[in-house]
Amino acid sequence: MYGDIGTSVLYAFKEVFVSGHVPITEANVLGVLSMFFWALAIVVSLKYVALIMRADNNGEGGLMALLALASLSTQKNPRLRGVLVVLGVFGVALFFGDGVITPAISVLSAVEGLEIITPAAKPYVVPLSLIVLVLLFMVQRRGTDDIGRFFGPITVVWFAAIAAVGVVQIVQHPSVLLAISPLYALQFSYDYYHLAFLTLGAVFLCLTGAEALYADMGHFGKQPIRIAWFGLVMPSLVLNYFGQGALVLNDPAAASNPFFIMLPEWSLIPMVVLATAATVIASQALISGAFSATKQTIQLGFLPRLSIMHTSIRDMGQIYIPAVNWTLLAGVVLAVGLFGSSTALAAAYGISVSMVMIITTIMTFFVVRYGWGYPLPVCIAATGVFVLIDGLFFASNLLKIAQGGWFPLAMAVGLYVIMSTWKDGRALLNSKLKADSMDLSSFLEAVFVSPPMRVEGTAVFLIASTGTVPNALLHNLKHNKVLHETNLFVTVRNHEVPWIGLDKRIEIERLGHDCWQVLINYGFKNDPDVPRALEQLKGRGVSLDPMMTSYFLSRDTVVPTLGEGMAPWREKLFAQMHHNASSAADFLSLPSNSVVELGSKIEI
């Protein structure tokens, strides 16, 4: 969880001075260090740890959980709710862009330490980085169940090591501790306001990874995260940044790569290895986060079904999504090949993260205002300062667009188009299905006036909305001219909450003639398993024998047409996504030997 923000020491401070725009003087170095310290104190400690972690969705955090919370808080205002959904979905798209840049810049910056050991290593930095990254993505299908137990200890060693090397430099130049005073940051901003504004884009790099604290809250809880942050992580980061500042004051030439230059010669190779391990762990955390965010996004209806594999029998949260894994790897390889160094990638980094932070703050405002019911002045006071600070960081990062900031933005825009097209396409498809559908109760009354032959067993018909006749039932009656002894019309509904307990999992309504309408409820972090959910029907008038149960699905083929709806290219994109979506049977955990799919064409 702390890997991303913890490995920022490899490149963040360096990027302030490497361009040569900021003169290396004692006042400037102290001013920059003060900016680093107060950025961590205000944005991470106050905003995330103190405020936003209070906005938990049944104990869960992260942008999707916050989006669901903000959406529920504003459900009485549909227009505002729609705006927040758009913001939240774009924020998720930006998160995936960050998922490409973070592994690339982290691993590159660690391997670049080899250049300090010997300049002859420079041509091998990019190839070695690519090897590490490719291996990382290749082992994802195996999960982290076996090696994950080492992540925590390695990360603790990492923080202890960066704190120790920072202390060694601070002892030689203790005046850097004066930078704890915000006056130095204010003085630097006043004397060089143009430079200070440019510098904010580099200072912001020390905050990348702060979202992980909130996103992983459901795994660890608020208290452990807060203890780790204040007890180990923040002190280690501050000591290392101040140590880098002390080194640069003693030797301005060290600004080219202060993190590795301040290390004793004997520790260079071990530290490169430790740094690489730390960046791999940071990348792993983000990749795992991308898998979880994808699953949640699918269940909230913004992405088509994808093949999801569970990699652990003990932890249901450990999942692997092949399509996401290989797409991320392609993006990471492209980023490393396109930019070639951590300095070049730093220009692309930050803009997407700063936008996510603004979106998080905005949604938190509406949760505080409408969800918690606080007065407007209190809400503005609680979030206004953070909006201002996030806005300054974002404005500074906007200057990086031409230098590479376009890369994560282009990825985010592309993904947002895909997500919004899927959401709108599903709405069109469901509207068309509903318009063409018949009322289930009336249909069954008509059918049982002259009932067809009944056969043994149970038929489970999956339908998108309750109370409508599934196409699979019509096809079954038309072609097979039979009806099962027991018939269940099942709708799976995903809600904007992380978890729904077993006590609220299933709702049942008797339709007569041994037919029942069943509603199965899931939160966006629940794993859909229809057969297991239907086991709860035992004792409620329905007995299911797995060997005598068949699941009927409608396999719809979407045909784009001219007219109302989406733009033609979006309809074609939706039709292609719908065609390539993974099987509903797999997504709903249906037994493959008991599934019957009946197809139909639907024009939108």
Closest among 279, 271, 277, 273 to 103, alpha carbons compared: 279
Predicted confidence at residue 244, as pLDDT, reads 96
In a domain, 311, yes or no: yes
Ramachandran region, residue 456 (left: φ > 0; alpha: ψ -120 to 50; beta: rest): beta
| Position 1 pLDDT exceeds 70 | yes
Distance between CA atoms of residues 212 and 555, nearest Å: 38
Name the phi and psi angles at 347, rounded to 5.
-70, -30
Residues 198, 396 contacting (CB under 8 angstroms): yes
In a domain, 497, yes or no: yes
Q: Are residues 396 and 544 in the same domain?
A: no
User: What is the mean pLDDT of the segment spanning 573-596?
Assistant: 88
Give residue 555's Cα distance to chain centre: 30
Mode of pairing for the β-strands spanning 309-310 and 319-320:
antiparallel
Q: Are residues 87 and 231 in the same domain?
A: yes
| Position 2 pLDDT exceeds 70 | yes
Residue pLDDT, tens place only, 387-401: 999 999 999 988 888
The residues with which 552 forms a beta bridge, in sequence order, are: 461, 596
Q: pLDDT-based confidence at 316, cuts 50/70/90?
A: low
Distance between CA atoms of residues 30 and 9, nearest Å: 17
Which of 424, 454, 489 delimits the end of a domain? 424
In a domain, 379, yes or no: yes
Spell out the long-range contacts of 367-376 with Cβ–Cβ below 8 A and sequence spacing 24 or more. Answer: 367/55, 367/66, 367/69, 367/70, 367/73, 368/55, 369/73, 370/73, 370/74, 370/77, 371/55, 371/69, 371/70, 371/72, 371/73
Q: Are residues 349 and 463 in the same domain?
A: no
Which of 357, 392, 424 delimits the end of a domain? 424
Q: Are residues 383 and 464 in the same domain?
A: no
Tokens of 473: 């039932």
Distance between CA atoms of residues 28 and 192, nearest Å: 9
| Position 231 pLDDT exceeds 70 | yes
Closest among 280, 328, 284, 287 to 108, alpha carbons compared: 280
Predicted confidence at residue 314, as pLDDT, reads 64
Distance between CA atoms of residues 563 and 531, nearest Å: 40
Query: What is the pTM (predicted TM-score) of this model?
Result: 0.84
In a domain, 433, yes or no: no
Distance between CA atoms of residues 45 and 53, nearest Å: 10
Predicted confidence at residue 313, as pLDDT, reads 64
Predicted confidence at residue 317, as pLDDT, reads 63
| DSSP-H helix ranges across 173-305 | 182-191, 193-203, 210-215, 217-220, 222-228, 234-250, 258-261, 268-299
The number of folded domains in the chain is: 2
Q: Are residues 444 and 414 in the same domain?
A: no
Closest among 97, 44, 90, 83 to 63, alpha carbons compared: 90
Full domain range(s) for residue 532: 439-603
Amino acid at residue number 349: Y
DSSP-derived letter for residue 47 is I
Predicted confidence at residue 458, as pLDDT, reads 92
Distance between CA atoms of residues 488 and 225, nearest Å: 45
Average predicted confidence (pLDDT) for the chain: 88
Mode of pairing for the β-strands spanning 506-512 and 515-522:
antiparallel
Distance between CA atoms of residues 328 and 100, nearest Å: 6
Q: Are residues 363 and 445 in the same domain?
A: no
| Position 52 pLDDT exceeds 80 | yes
Q: Are residues 409 and 514 in the same domain?
A: no
Predicted confidence at residue 97, as pLDDT, reads 82
Closest among 407, 309, 396, 305 to 99, alpha carbons compared: 407
CATH number of residue 300's parent domain: 1.20.1740.10
More confident residue, 496 or 158: 158
Residues 556, 578 contacting (CB under 8 angstroms): yes
Residue carrying the six token digits 């913890």: 6
Residue pLDDT, tens place only, 92-133: 888 888 888 889 988 999 898 888 888 888 889 999 999 999
Tokens of 15: 């990027």
Q: Are residues 97 and 194 in the same domain?
A: yes
User: Among residues of the chain, what percentage have pLDDT more than 70?
Assistant: 99
In a domain, 434, yes or no: no
Residues 360, 345 contacting (CB under 8 angstroms): no
Distance between CA atoms of residues 462 and 218, nearest Å: 31
Mode of pairing for the β-strands spanning 309-310 and 506-512:
unpaired
Residues 470, 594 contacting (CB under 8 angstroms): no
Ramachandran region, residue 591 (left: φ > 0; alpha: ψ -120 to 50; beta: rest): beta
In a domain, 27, yes or no: yes
Closest among 391, 435, 289, 409 to 351, alpha carbons compared: 409
Predicted confidence at residue 561, as pLDDT, reads 82
Closest among 410, 393, 404, 402 to 358, alpha carbons compared: 393
The residues with which 455 forms a beta bridge, in sequence order, are: 484
Q: Are residues 399 and 535 in the same domain?
A: no
Distance between CA atoms of residues 16 and 19, nearest Å: 7
Distance between CA atoms of residues 213 and 193, nearest Å: 31
Residue pLDDT, tens place only, 403-454: 888 888 899 999 999 999 999 998 888 888 887 788 888 999 998 888 889 8
Residues 298, 306 contacting (CB under 8 angstroms): yes
In a domain, 432, yes or no: no
Q: Of the ranges 251-255, 317-321, 339-343, 397-401, which is most confident?
A: 251-255
| Position 311 pLDDT exceeds 90 | no
User: Among residues of the chain, what percentage have pLDDT more than 90?
Assistant: 40
What's the 3-state SS for 424-456?
A: HHHHHHHHHHHHHCCEHHHHHHHHCCCCCEEEE
Predicted confidence at residue 45, as pLDDT, reads 94
Distance between CA atoms of residues 572 and 569, nearest Å: 5
Which of 361, 389, 424 delimits the end of a domain? 424
Q: Which whole-number Å values give the CA distances from 277 to 93, 151, 413, in the listed order?
A: 27, 9, 32
| DSSP-H helix ranges across 340-448 | 342-348, 351-366, 376-398, 406-436, 440-447
As separate numbers, helices (DSSP H) first and strands (DSSP E) second, the chain gives 26, 8
Distance between CA atoms of residues 219 and 88, nearest Å: 22
Q: What is the CA radius of gyration of the chain?
A: 27
Residues 409, 351 contacting (CB under 8 angstroms): yes
Residues 521, 565 contacting (CB under 8 angstroms): no
Predicted confidence at residue 513, as pLDDT, reads 87
Q: Are residues 214 and 152 in the same domain?
A: yes
Distance between CA atoms of residues 490 and 434, nearest Å: 16
Tokens of 501: 């307990």
Distance between CA atoms of residues 549 and 462, nearest Å: 13
Q: Are residues 306 and 449 in the same domain?
A: no
In a domain, 431, yes or no: no
Distance between CA atoms of residues 246 and 243, nearest Å: 5
Q: Are residues 450 and 415 in the same domain?
A: no
